[in-house]
Structures are given as C-alpha cells and as structure tokens.
Amino acid sequence: MRSAVVMGVVALFALTAGGATAGAASKTVQGKVTAVEADSVTIAQGSGPMTFVVDPTTKVVGKGLTTKTNEKAEKGEKLNLKEAVGTDDRVTVTYTEMDGKNHASLIKVTQKALAAK
C-alpha cells in the first residue's frame, strides 16, 4: 500500500503531451545526471548526453524519496523533480520515443551524488 501511495505521490511534473504512444517499445539507459529542469532531466552516458521529457505520468523512485514525499505531503506540498533528482546522481531511465523526444516513464535514482565537503 505504501509503495502504491509513494508511486502515486512521486509521479510529477508538467508537460501537456498525451500519454505514451500505444505499442511504443520502452528502452532503458543508465547515466550520470548533468542537468535537471522542471520538465526534463539530462544524463551523460556512453554515446553522449540524452535529455528526457518529464511529465505528470513520470514516476521517480529512489532511496529516501518516500520519506521526502511524506514530509512534503504533511505540509500539503508535492515533491518536485529538482528535489528528487540532482546533478551528479546516477540514474536508470526507462523511456519511449514520442514526437521526436525521449519521454521518461520511470527515473530510478540508483546512487545519490556525494555531498561536497
């Protein structure tokens, strides 16, 4: 139950594009986050940078995000993308190609960036 709530609450963000194209094959890529905007994430990976569109259907998961989401919910707020994913985090992104753009359906934070000392 808690998992379902977290997945629902952590689903974020703003683009007005419709849902994923029926029959579009999902792809997965791993890399290091180089930029985070309100509606996109860019990662560096083997073949170069890749930018992914993020919208309200995108799910963001990772260690500690349940706690952050619950803390924000207690205040009547929602966790935004920049609070969930940061520069230099390592992520796995599941995406589909839609309208010439990479649409992220799932962003899994696999390792948070080390804090600067």
CATH no. for 2-14+25-111: 2.40.50.320
Phi, then psi, of 103 in degrees rounded to 5:
-100, 115
Looking at residue 17, its pLDDT comes to: 36
pLDDT surpasses 50 at 20: no
Contact 86, 35 (CB under 8 A): no
Segments in the chain forming alpha helices (H):
2-10, 65-74, 81-84
Percent of all residues in the chain with a pLDDT value above 90, rounded to a whole number: 65
pLDDT surpasses 80 at 39: yes
Q: Where are the domains of the chain?
A: 2-14+25-111
DSSP string for residues in 71-103: HHHHTT----HHHH--TT-EEEEEEEEETTEEE
pLDDT band at 117 (very low <50, low <70, confident <90, very high): low
Contacts of 54 (CB under 8 A, 6+ apart): 12, 13, 15, 39, 40, 41, 81, 104, 107
What's the pLDDT tens digit per position in 82-97? 999 999 999 999 999 9
